[in-house]
Amino acid sequence: MINPSKKGKTKMQSFALNTIFILISLSHLSIVVSSSKPLNPCNGDFLHTQAYRQMQNQTNTTHCKKLSSLQAQFAWNYHKTSHNQTQLNILIGTKLITNMGWLAWGINPDLPRMVGTRAIIAVKVPNQITPSVNTYNITKDIQLGCKFQPSGIDFMVQNMTVVDDKDVGFFSVFATLVLPQRYNVSSLNHVWQVGYCVDGLEPKMHETSLGNLDSKEVLDLETGDCQNIGQHRRHMRKIHGILNIIGWGTLMPLGVIVARYFKQFPIKLDPCWYYFHYCCQVVGYILGTAGWGLGLFLGHESKYYTFHSHRVLGICIFGFTTLQVTQILAFQFKPTQEDEYRKHWNVYHHFLGYALLVMIPVNIYKGIKLLKPNNITWKWTYNGILVLLGVVVLALEIVTWAIFLYKKCCKKTVEESSPRRVEIEEDNKGQTKEGSSSRTIEVQE
């Protein structure tokens, strides 16, 4: 005869495996579908800037697209010269949120990366009427902390102009480039960057948010199609975030809520509470572990930057949840109610559980912060999940205390209204004798 509890556990394990298989399949499909992106047209205030209107008036073949990060927008047109070179007009703009900062755009003849880029950088400082703009060679020495000074590059740059359009809030750079044949217009490696720290007229290190680190792509100047180098990683980050929010941030706390409020008090659902607790913890662990492993892979791929606190907390969360789930799966190691060390085991189990309830939201918010400035949806989505869980906990806590106080009050009332038994020893002769009898008298108060 099949044990019903084992049969239920087998079904829950099958459900967990099916869930993770479906999520991985959907994730793979989304990455394949989004491996390349077509032209994403410009919109908003950028189309109304004076620089863009002047550029559009020069030729009707101007392309314009929103770049994938840093809220930047990019416009261009080009034509072949008589010397088989390419004359390229570019306009890049973004909204600088401070009175000081810099905007950079450049191309790399070898790879879509910052090192090796020939860049045009405009620097904006307070009390300066016209921002400065120069060409720069970005080398490995700059990453090592060497002074970043203007320098010549291997192609001609003309008509460099900076437009700080305060009416619409766009800070833009226009330039005309004459590119030699080695620069392929059908697969041009271009990068862009925004920074807010300036030393005199020297641009200093930009932020290390994911938007800053993914600002590069391979662009087809003729069609506007691009191969976004950071797009694949962005989709993997989204999957990493979704798996961890559902696994660590939703199902694991839900399992704790079930164990606290449906085991005995205020609502006893025995043994259903344990099966639901088991299912939440195991499925949450599978999803969270998948997201954690994906996070380790992303960290390995990120050779030039590491988010130490996010990484350390993630490792601690994985370790603690592994201990917790191992206790659920390994029934032979769980002490029974009669064991002397059951009390110590409970303290240990509860300590790990409540420590996880603190660490998980902290680390999820750290991960969401890394996605700035495109992290508003993530932030409010997780805020909604926490609020919903908090409302459920508050409601169940109120019910728990209400039932507890009600039962305590009823017990006290019953004790006060019950008869008091008084034993009176009577001796018919007023002396203590071997055969003396006693009688019990009930006194109703």
Amino acid letter, 265: F
Q: Is 83 annotated as a binding residue?
A: no
Task: Give the up-direction half-sphere exposure of residue 419: CA atoms within 13 A in the CB hemisphere.
Answer: 8
Whole-number Å distance between alpha carbons of 218 and 232: 13
Handedness of CA 319, 323, 329, 330 (dihedral sign): positive
Question: Residue 244, Cβ neighbours under 10 Å: how many?
Answer: 26
Instruction: Find out whether 441 and 422 touch, Cβ atoms under 8 Å.
Output: yes
Whole-number Å distance between alpha carbons of 308 and 316: 12
Whole-number Å distance between alpha carbons of 434 and 425: 13
Instruction: Find out whether 260 and 394 touch, Cβ atoms under 8 Å.
Output: no
Whole-number Å distance between alpha carbons of 178 and 104: 18
As beta bridge partners, residue 173 has 92, 162
Tokens matching residue 146: 């060497």
Q: Is 190 annotated as a binding residue?
A: no
CA separation, residue 92 to residues 33, 71, 97 (Å): 28, 11, 16
Q: Is 308 annotated as a binding residue?
A: no
Compute CA 59 distance to the chain's CA centroid, rounded to the nearest angstrom: 43
Q: Is 349 annotated as a binding residue?
A: yes
Which residues contact residue 161 at a Cβ distance below 8 angstroms, ignoring those fewer than 6 apart? Answer: 51, 133, 173, 174, 175
Whole-number Å distance between alpha carbons of 345 and 271: 21
Whole-number Å distance between alpha carbons of 65 and 225: 10
Binding-site residue ranges:
240, 277, 310, 349
Q: Binding-site residues for heme b, please?
A: 240, 277, 310, 349
